Structure 1
Amino acid sequence: MATKKLYENFSKSLIDEVHKWGAMKQTGVSLRYMLDFGSVPSDRNLIIAAQFLHKELPIRIARRAIELQSLPYGLSEKPAVLKVRDWYLDSFRDLRSFPEIKDITDERDFTQMIKLIKVRHNNVVPTMALGVKQLKKGLDPKVEDEGLDEIHQFLDRFYMSRIGIRMLIDVKTCFCAFKFGSNSGQHVAVHDPNPPPNCIGYIHAKMSPMQVAKDASEDARSICLREYGSAPDINIYGDPSFAFPYVPTHLHMMVFELVKNSLRAVQERYMDSEKVPPPIRIIVADGAEDVTIKACVSDEGGGIARSGLPKIFTYLYSTANNPLYEQSNLGAVDTVTMAGYGYGLPISRLYARYFGGDLQIISMEGYGTDAYLHLSRLGDSQEPLP
């Protein structure tokens, strides 16, 4: 049983503390606040940021560890989920074992510690996906057809929380790197020892959505070429000079997922045809009043049946073969493939919603699919705290 394993691996006092901290109130921040606060790397701001994370991270991690213990249909007992749960409990213990942060030396040691926590959690998403697939494989089809709403809602909360935790760690660690330089060993979000201007961690004050869309599209197309031997062209339309504050890695991941889906659909539809596959079209529009970036990924890949549309944002649905079934090594599940994990679209929507945006899919069966990715320009919305 999962509960027995929990008490075998971790002391009762630690588990009691997890429940105590999991009951505390979380504190959300906005993209604008992260950018403004992180732009002034003074000793005082560094210490304040570390003190905030020293209290905030254990709360968020404790909440997820508690939820991982009581998931329905036996999901908590799947080997992959147990592995993720242990990562969260280990990280909670590390955070709570760290003494009060009083000076800049404490701050630097704390930053090094949370950098290691971030590395520990690198494979959380694919490992949780493996756990969900393990569950799905053994489920009664009648149970699966009921929608498993409780599991989907948990996974939304879990992944949204993970996005927030990693954002806070990345802004903090990169903030420290700007202050002390690349030799301090604190740099996480920006690997270049000479980070580009206008960047605080993952946040870019003047991000070009056109450039990010171009880079993500090229990456997706290279995957398609590798797997199919050919790939449709991709045409991108928009103002290349337009820029706004956002997180390039988030946008790259979302556009990559949408373009990857379109490429696969078009490539497979035209694989045995003598016709030239139509290009994937991406439109980046700057809304003057609605402060939203609308990225429309349109294809002619045959579309999605209307009965399948409600399922595309669930974690137990994929129209492709599942590569995770072939993976027995939990450490090897982060390989990028064209499709099959079943979490690309729901995770992408969470990334969009994290800073006040959204993702919508409109499909015409027999023709193709349009994906509308709305991104908040102002960055003033608070984190959605699950």
Structure 2
Amino acid sequence: MASEPVTRAVAEEIARWGSMRQTGVSLRYMMEFGARPTERTLLLAAQFLHKELPIRIARRALDLESLPFGLSSKPAILKVRDWYVDSFRDIRNFPEVRNKDDELAFTQMIKMIRVRHTNVVPTIALGVQQLKKDLGGPKAFPPGIHEIHQFLDRFYMSRIGIRMLIGQHVALHDPDPEPGVIGLINTKLSPMTVARIASEDARAICMREYGSAPDVDIYGDPDFTFPYVTPHLHLMMFELVKNSLRAVQERYMNSDKHAPPVRIIVADGAEDVTIKISDEGGGIPRSGLSRIFTYLYSTAENPPDLDGHNEGVTMAGYGYGIPISRLYARYFGGDLQIISMEGYGTDAYLHLSRLGDSEEPLP
């Protein structure tokens, strides 16, 4: 289906909403607010989202209109723009949220919006891939390309925020929440448990792709817990462990030496929980280190073709895993650092704020 031109009235409204101020929320605020969801708090939350979501969505729709190198006119990018315009329209056309029935209908509608946007990341990746072909392959990066990188950072960070706000609101309606879980936030998340599950998932993929996988050893206090969003931590851990396994596996594949294990160390500090993932996979040359955080670089020779079904499942692909993991870490006041020793291995340090009191970094 071809992209529909946006009517002038809608375009003007998007411009108006896109210039309004966004309101950030912190992990702690979401936790305190959702601790005992009553009809009244859910109503207040829905009223907040009814105002906040169109501002955030309008900003992204505007961003998609003005990308350099003709990226805005790529079919994949136009498709994403249409999703954002449709979602903006859906929320703006929804009447004021005044009572429980309005709130439930509003929740159903934003749930549909979340589904509509499921494939945003692979679809944008496809647009960027089309652009890379036009520019003469992955090696040719003309000046101004950093603008695209900044756009992707803003865009994906904003997407994490939108999905978190919608997901949190929808999850608060769960009639039978797990103990200690508030919406999407597990108040007693065990980083050791998440590390174990993410490592098993990453090893399964490594097994499937190479026929074997290095071991993963995990060190830390099994009883330690802190509040965090389990899927976010799983995604970051999975991505980092998967990269380490791949590096070790490829380095030792044709060697008679036993592949050394990937090591995960979980440290609980007063302010931060730090998770270190160490491998002896040969490391990354210093010249390549800065590139691992750009979206336009992948170590895989031929990235897999996008059909939207293998998001996050192939061992190497778009080079999106690391920069997106860093955004997830930063979203709640943490960070991701990668330190490498060429010829030996790589250490990734995932810092997560233990206090949960930093506001969302709103692009």
Q: TM-score normalised to the size of structure 2?
A: 0.96
Q: For 1:19, which of 4, 15, 27 is the aligned residue?
A: 15
Cα deviation, residue 201, structure 1:
2.0
Gaps of 5+ in 1: 182-193
The residue correspondences of 1:124-139 to structure 2 (distance < 5 A) are 124-139=120-135
Which of 237, 248, 263 is equivalent to 2:245? 263
Q: Does 1:112 align with 2:108?
A: yes
Q: Cα deviation per residue 1:254-276 (whole Å; 9 max; x = unaligned)?
A: 01000000000000111111111
SS in 1 for 2:265: strand
Q: Partner of 1:353 in structure 2? A: 330
Shift of 1:10: 2.7
Which SS does the other structure have where 1:294 is aligned?
strand
Equivalent residues in 2 for 1:204-353 (5 A)? 204-288=186-270, 291-324=271-304, 326-327=305-306, 329=307, 331-332=308-309, 334=311, 336-353=313-330
**1:322 Cα deviation from its structure 2 partner:** 3.6
Determine if contact 1:80/1:127 at 8 Å carries over to the other structure: yes
| 2: CA distance, partners of 1:263 / 1:347 | 19
Distance 1:134 1:366 in 2: 34
CA distance in 2, matches of 1:323, 1:143: 16
Q: Distance in 2 between matches of 1:199 and 1:374?
A: 22
* Aligned-residue offset at 1:343: 0.8
* Number of positions where the alignment pairs a residue of Structure 1 with one of Structure 2: 361
Q: 1:208–1:244: 8 Å Cα contact kept in structure 2?
A: yes
Query: Which residue of structure 2 aligns with residue 376 of structure 1?
Result: 353
Following the alignment from structure 1 to structure 2, what is the Cα–Cα distance between the partners of residues 225 and 260? 11
Find the aligned partners of 1:375 and 1:210 in 2 and give their Cα distance: 14
* Aligned match for 2:98, one of 99, 102, 111: 102
Q: Does residue 1:78 correspond to 2:74, yes or no?
A: yes
Percent of paired sites with the same residue: 70
State the secondary structure of the residue aligned to 1:176: coil
Alpha-carbon distance between aligned partners in 1 of 2:311 and 2:79, rounded to the nearest angstrom: 15
Displaced runs of 4+ in structure 1, greater than 6 A? none
C-alpha contact 1:127 1:333 (8 A) present in aligned 2 = no
Quote the offset at 1:346 in angstroms.
0.4
Inter-partner Cα distance in structure 2 for 1:147 and 1:242: 46
The letter of the residue matching 1:115 is K
Q: Please tell me whether the aligned partners of residues 233 and 279 of structure 1 are also in contact (alpha carbons under 8 angstroms).
A: yes
Post-superposition shift, 1:200?
1.7
Give the Cα separation in 2 of the matches to 1:94 and 1:129. Answer: 26
1:131: Cα distance to partner? Answer: 1.3
Distance 1:133 1:195, change over 3 A: same
Which residue number corresponds to residue 169 of structure 2? 172
- Residue by residue over 1:94-136, the C-alpha shift from the partner in whole angstroms, topping out at 9 and shown as x without a partner, is 0001000111110000000000000111111111111111111
Counterparts of 2:142 and 2:235, CA distance in 1: 29
2:135 is the counterpart of 1:144: no
**3-state SS, counterpart of residue 370 of structure 1:** strand
Corresponding residue number in structure 2 for 1:185 = none
Measure how far apart 1:202 and its partner are. Answer: 1.5
Query: 1:147: how far off?
Result: 7.0
Task: Please report the RMSD computed on the Cα atoms of aligned residues, expressed in angstroms.
Answer: 1.5
Offset of 1:228 from its aligned partner? 0.4
Residue 42 (structure 1) shift: 1.0
Q: Is the 8 A contact 1:292 1:377 kept in 2?
A: yes
1:164-203 alignment runs, 5 A limit: 164-177=161-174, 181=175, 194-203=176-185
C-alpha separation in 2, matches of 1:359 and 1:315: 15
